[in-house]
Amino acid sequence: MATNVLIPFYSSYGHTYQMAQAVAEGAEGVDDTDVQLRRIPELEGARQAMSGQDAYVQAQEAMSEHPEVTHDDLRWADGIIWGSPTRYGNMTAQMKQFIDSTGALWQNGELEGKATAMFTSTATIHGGQETTILTSLVPLLHLGMIFVGLPYGENPQILTTDGIGGSPYGPATLAGGDGSRQPVEEELLSARNLGRRVANVSERLKGL
């Protein structure tokens, strides 16, 4: 049977979406792996506040081909790789609201034993890449999931003093203060490697 990998992501301006696509590419490179990209629903207040920005509107239109994530998607998945830009060193309210809606899944233990991981996007190198993933890990552990990181041995590109995203906790990209910077190859490589790693770990966990 195929291994199912779900990538639920939230992206305002498309940077996290580009990383999600790279994660999917990596997971799809593993034999017998089915991959689904799903949008984390937007908050109506955020939509209203940002709908006057062309960059936001264009990014939302580009992502509209992907359905919004549901609890059944989480049930379907053997591995779940979350994507969220940072908000003051933490996940977005959109992602938190969706995770907070999984009480029934938690109560029934439906996500226990599944591999999980995370990637993020920040404006600057000091914008919370590491804290966003580490703080997001807390509810994922409460749900009983098994966290998969991004080891240096498989990702020598993060052993650098250059201004690129990524850490042993997960891939990341930098958007720049005005959002003009786009993910570079080293960041996309980390994302692809994480997708492949979670697909492989998910396949092994299925047999336990």
Token duo for residue 153: 């041995």
Q: What percent of the chain has pLDDT over 70?
A: 100
Tell how strand 115-122 and strand 79-85 pair up.
parallel
pLDDT tens, residue by residue, 28-71: 999 999 999 999 999 999 999 999 999 999 999 999 999 999 99
Containing 147, the helix (H) or strand (E) segment is strand 146-147
Report pLDDT for 197: 98
Inform me whether the pLDDT recorded for 207 exceeds 80: no
What pairs with residue 15 in β-bridges? none
Judge contact between 149 and 166, C-beta under 8 A: no
Q: Which residue in 191, 157, 196 sits closest to 9, CA to CA?
A: 191
Report pLDDT for 70: 98
What pairs with residue 8 in β-bridges? 38
DSSP 135: H
What pairs with residue 7 in β-bridges? 37
pLDDT tens, residue by residue, 85-130: 999 999 999 999 999 999 999 999 999 999 999 999 999 999 999 9
pTM: 0.97
Containing 113, the helix (H) or strand (E) segment is none
Integer Cα distance of 116 and 145 in angstroms: 6
Judge contact between 10 and 94, C-beta under 8 A: yes
Integer Cα distance of 54 and 158 in angstroms: 33
What are the backbone dihedrals phi and psi of residue 40, each rounded to the nearest 5 degrees, phi first? -80, 130
Token duo for residue 135: 């703080």
Average pLDDT over all residues of the chain: 96
Token duo for residue 45: 């207040």
Tell how strand 115-122 and strand 172-174 pair up.
parallel
Helix, strand, or coil (residue 33): strand
